[in-house]
Structure 1
């Protein structure tokens, strides 16, 4: 009887010890997790100061561009220069659009057409080619990929004269097609989408779709392209900015009646006398579309990354 009592008491003590140990372990884990969460979510004041400094440093050129675009040319050239916006922004913008030698309104429309067309074509073609190089097995894929990567090593300036001769022979020199057609595909875009597809799309998912009877094109539009959306947004943003800011090739290929934004800005800054306020007003109007596109694509990038993180 005493043996059973002793054994039962020891077992009860062991049974009572296990929950306490578990509680202590869980409590320590919860405490450690809360501490880690507090360390992750908490930010030191120094971090906020550094972020504020970076934001101000990045926004300073835009702010001073706005200040100079809203002032008279005499105010800009004064010492010290003005630090606050003036009241001549609307009049300076009207002067930019009213200048017949610049054709700034037409230049904005031309740049929008060229950049949008090239962006859409580059994103679609790069996604298709990147998916093929990453997930489809075909003869000569490695050689073709090397050729695509090799095109990135050739400077654009080396191809200006042959490209202009080609555009002249086929009758496209001087029009918007001459600055759009050569940039409908991108070697960087193909390589970028291929690298992203290798990591973002599992082979098992494609095999399961094939077992269900889906064709290659159906797999691309229903499975692959939605998974490539964050990379497509980044590539679209970079392509749009590159085509919008391109100056050298449009300056060579386009005639006087088909300017782009950068060519129009060069006309504003040309001549014996440069009106800095007029140039800054034109630069401000040429920068606003990029800001809008960056905001739109930035939201898509964040949304795609969050969606991919939740699915994983």
Structure 2
């Protein structure tokens, strides 16, 4: 007669309230927490991958990023190398790949050149690009908020007109703009390089799209219930939400105005150059000192680098938010 082995007693415990409950028996054959911990770790990793919308980083991804960074930084590094060398080294073979000792003297020669007026050109470009950036960001945010959240007659027609201005080539309006600046008595002065670019159709459309997606109507209605005016709603509620998009628009506008050559070349006189006009003077004539051109290019690039470093976090945040919302 076969004897059956008695079952192990079921473990129980008593709660402080006097209730007896069963305790789940841990699995046999190893560490009880290992399987659950492993499953939990894998599930957390999968959840993190789903939340970021991507795949885990692999060595190939890091290698691709490293190569991309090197390719992007190579022109800047070569510009520094050429700006720190004498002109004779630039045409030598093989070309130099390490910085030289002439960076300071070359920069001093660029700034001391009275025919180029590079220092004055830097100041003029900062004034024009900075004023245009502030104006475009503020006016575009105001107009974008109005087109996205305010209801008024002819709103859609006005928005179509704004979009239509983006289809007109800039070169088509150079002659009428120059004639207008001449009639206003501003031809040859610094304001003539600024006035045509105080507002941007692209900026209005960009801010309108961002405001329509990022700002809920309930938030504006709640502010109105609290007694806030439209102006108060914009500056206290709307503009803080639009800040990432405003940072992106500000960087694009600053770069566009800083790198503009044709319009300042047409409308400004020799005493009011911008950076791009001054660089064209460095490379003009029968003999071009390429080391000076590279040194001037390095000086002209530094403000853009500084702007990106200062506002980089908001710029990248705005691009990421725009990509997610799109």
Normalized against structure 1, the TM-score is what? 0.88
**Rounded Cα–Cα distance in structure 2 between residues aligned with 1:252 and 1:299:** 36
Structure 1 residues 281, 305: closer, same or farther in 2, change over 3 A?
closer
Per-residue deviation, 1:216: 0.2
Q: Which has the larger radius of gyration?
A: 2
1:33 lines up with 2:47 in the alignment: no
Structure 2 SS opposite 1:233: helix
1:290 lines up with 2:304 in the alignment: yes
Per-residue deviation, 1:302: 4.6
Structure 1 SS opposite 2:93: coil
- Residues 86-121 of structure 1: per-residue CA shift (max 9 Å, x gap): 000000001101111000000000000000000000
Which residue, 96, 102, 107 being the options, matches 1:82? Answer: 96
Which residue, 119, 123, 130 being the options, matches 2:133? Answer: 119
- Residues 162-216 of structure 1: per-residue CA shift (max 9 Å, x gap): 0000000000110110010110000000000000000110000000000111000
Structure 1 residues 168, 307: closer, same or farther in 2, change over 3 A?
closer
Structure 1 SS opposite 2:89: helix
Q: How does 1:1-312 map to 2 (within 5 A)?
A: 30-36=40-46, 42-302=56-316
Structure 1 residues 26, 304: closer, same or farther in 2, change over 3 A?
farther
RMSD: 2.7
**Rounded Cα–Cα distance in structure 2 between residues aligned with 1:257 and 1:32:** 67
Structure 2 SS opposite 1:34: helix
**Rounded Cα–Cα distance in structure 2 between residues aligned with 1:198 and 1:187:** 17
Per-residue deviation, 1:29: 6.5
Structure 1 residues 182, 306: closer, same or farther in 2, change over 3 A?
closer
Match of 2:15 in 1: none
Per-residue deviation, 1:36: 1.9
Aligned partners of 2:85 and 2:103 also within 8 Å = yes
Gap regions ≥5 residues in structure 1: 1-8, 10-14
**Rounded Cα–Cα distance in structure 1 between residues aligned with 2:47 and 2:319:** 21
Per-residue deviation, 1:48: 1.0
Per-residue deviation, 1:44: 1.2
Match of 2:16 in 1: none
Moved more, 111-120 or 289-298: 289-298
Per-residue deviation, 1:75: 0.5
Structure 1 residues 54, 305: closer, same or farther in 2, change over 3 A?
closer
Per-residue deviation, 1:293: 0.5
**Rounded Cα–Cα distance in structure 2 between residues aligned with 1:148 and 1:233:** 21
Q: Which structure exhibits the higher relative contact order, with contacts defined as CA atoms closer than 8 Å and separated by 6 or more residues?
A: 1
Normalized against structure 2, the TM-score is what? 0.84
Structure 2 SS opposite 1:228: helix
Gap regions ≥5 residues in structure 2: 1-9, 11-20, 27-32
**Rounded Cα–Cα distance in structure 1 between residues aligned with 2:317 and 2:41:** 32
Per-residue deviation, 1:45: 1.1
